């Protein structure tokens, strides 16, 4: 398959390498030079010629992601979208393209896991998603370095969070419901962010997505006088510093619960967020190359069939990402 990857940042470069390793004819498009095993094109992703591509993987920053996706959709491409733009792809005007969107760890894998629980248990009582990529140890400063576009992190902190309370959609300020949690033995803090996206349409009494940070980080952000560009510099990712990504997806329904935990510490020079996010993206592209998952329309991750979702989980596990499931009514690990 000929696959065009748009954006070669930490996640984009990882996905590109995985697709090359899987035997595809991969072309990477970016406006800055990238060291890549793919065929590289130094040009704007939206205006480039993608007519020969079997699939396009949109991994540009969220600030431009929707406009790029709109162009690709209008041109009739099959697109796997990881841009996480504020305007969600289900708002696209009708067009000939076919889109699978939000295929990262959260949103992405989190949606898939909730979908599995919903298909098994029916209407959900409570859904709680807690996720974050952070340094392995806190420090005297921000205790944070951005594992993807820092501007997208700032958008998480400022964009009002859509949640579900008492069976209805509600909008609350980002960083609301700040509380302490145990993240696999680490005392950390979690706060609401706008990460539910398409999941908000599933029937549930209560649902929220929380970003996880070391204690004191978000309070420092709330007090800072730094502008966004200065924060980008302050949060610059340091590849020499140990870090980890941790996620918990907890679903409760009818007295039963399903709790998935996902954790990674990076490997072979790739960050944990690049791996956990990028492996989900890679697995979705791989699955779509092998069979016609979708032939029309714009699809969120929860539209994927069960067997594909389990294949995604297996790809993560084979690459060394820890994925565990605890069930209240039966003991198993999948």
- What pLDDT is recorded for position 101? 98
Sheet of 39-42, strand order: 39-42, 25-30, 2-6, 55-58, 78-81, 98-101, 297-299
Its pTM stands at 0.94
| Residue 208: band (very low, low, confident or very high) from pLDDT cuts 50, 70, 90 | very high
* Contact by Cβ (8 Å): 190, 246: no
Which whole number is the average pLDDT over 163-173? 96
CB atoms within 10 A of CB 121: 18
Per-residue pLDDT of 114-143, as tens digits, reads 999 999 999 999 999 999 999 999 999 999
Specify the CATH number of the domain 2-101: 3.40.50.720
Q: Which two tokens stand for residue 37?
A: 């095993």
- What pLDDT is recorded for position 245? 97
d(CA 119, CA 112): 11
Q: Which two tokens stand for residue 321?
A: 């990402």
- What pLDDT is recorded for position 35? 95
Residue with tokens 């340094």, as numbered in its chain:
135
* Contact by Cβ (8 Å): 144, 245: no
Residue with tokens 């921000």, as numbered in its chain:
142
- What pLDDT is recorded for position 332? 45
d(CA 259, CA 251): 6
Which whole number is the average pLDDT over 178-192? 97
* Contact by Cβ (8 Å): 102, 87: no
- What pLDDT is recorded for position 330? 55
Q: Is the pLDDT of residue 256 over 70?
A: yes
d(CA 123, CA 40): 47
Per-residue pLDDT of 288-316, as tens digits, reads 999 999 999 999 999 999 999 999 999 99
pLDDT, mean over the chain: 95
- What pLDDT is recorded for position 334? 42
Burial of 21 (0-12, 13-18, 19+ CB in 10 A): exposed
Is-same-fold flag (2-101; 109-272+308-327)?
Answer: no
Residue with tokens 């000939």, as numbered in its chain:
96
Half-sphere exposure of 243 (CA within 13 A, CB side): 26
**Residue extents of the structural domains in the chain:** 2-101, 109-272+308-327
d(CA 139, CA 172): 30
| Residue 63: band (very low, low, confident or very high) from pLDDT cuts 50, 70, 90 | confident
| Residue 46: band (very low, low, confident or very high) from pLDDT cuts 50, 70, 90 | confident
Burial of 112 (0-12, 13-18, 19+ CB in 10 A): buried
Which whole number is the average pLDDT over 197-226? 96
Give buried/exposed letters for 130-149 (b at 16+ CB in 10 A, else e): bbbbbbeebeeebbbbbbbb
Protein fold of 109-272+308-327: Dihydrodipicolinate Reductase; domain 2 (3.30.360)
DSSP lists the bridge partners of residue 165 as 168, 206
* Contact by Cβ (8 Å): 24, 2: yes
Q: What's the N-to-C CA distance of the chain in angstroms?
A: 31
Which whole number is the average pLDDT over 162-179? 96
Q: Is the pLDDT of residue 331 over 90?
A: no
Q: Is the pLDDT of residue 79 over 70?
A: yes
d(CA 175, CA 172): 9
d(CA 12, CA 139): 28
Which whole number is the average pLDDT over 83-97? 93
């Amino acid at each position: 398959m000929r696959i065009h990857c748009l954006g070669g940042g930490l996640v984009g470069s990882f996905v590109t390498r995985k697709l090359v390793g899987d035997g595809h004819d991969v072309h990477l498009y970016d406006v800055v030079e990238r060291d890549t095993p793919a065929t590289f094109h130094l040009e704007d992703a939206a205006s480039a010629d993608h007519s020969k591509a079997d699939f396009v993987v949109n991994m540009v920053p969220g600030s431009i992601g929707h406009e790029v996706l709109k162009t690709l959709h209008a041109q009739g491409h099959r697109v796997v979208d990881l841009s996480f733009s504020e305007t969600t792809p289900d708002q696209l005007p009708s067009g000939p393209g076919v889109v699978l969107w939000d295929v990262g760890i959260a949103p992405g894998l989190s949606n898939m896991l909730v979908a599995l629980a919903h298909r098994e248990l029916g209407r959900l009582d409570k859904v709680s998603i807690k996720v974050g990529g952070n340094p392995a140890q806190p420090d005297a400063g921000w205790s944070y370095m951005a594992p993807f576009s820092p501007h997208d992190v700032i958008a998480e902190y400022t964009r009002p969070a859509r949640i579900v309370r008492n069976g209805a959609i509600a909008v609350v300020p980002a960083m609301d419901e700040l509380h302490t949690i145990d993240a696999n033995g680490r005392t950390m803090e979690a706060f609401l962010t706008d990460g539910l996206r398409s999941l908000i349409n599933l029937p549930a009494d209560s649902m929220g997505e929380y970003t996880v940070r070391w204690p004191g980080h978000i309070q420092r952000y709330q007090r800072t006088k730094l502008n966004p560009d200065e924060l980008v510099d302050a949060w610059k990712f340091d590849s020499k510093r140990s870090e980890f990504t941790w996620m918990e997806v907890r679903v409760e329904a009818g007295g039963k619960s399903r709790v998935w935990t996902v954790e990674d510490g990076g490997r072979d020079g790739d960050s944990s967020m690049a791996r956990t996010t990028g492996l989900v993206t890679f697995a979705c592209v791989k699955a779509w190359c092998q069979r016609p998952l979708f032939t029309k329309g714009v699809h969120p991750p929860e539209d994927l069939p069960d067997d594909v979702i389990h294949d995604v989980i297996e790809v993560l596990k084979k690459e060394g990402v820890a994925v565990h499931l605890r069930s209240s009514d039966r003991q198993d690990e999948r």
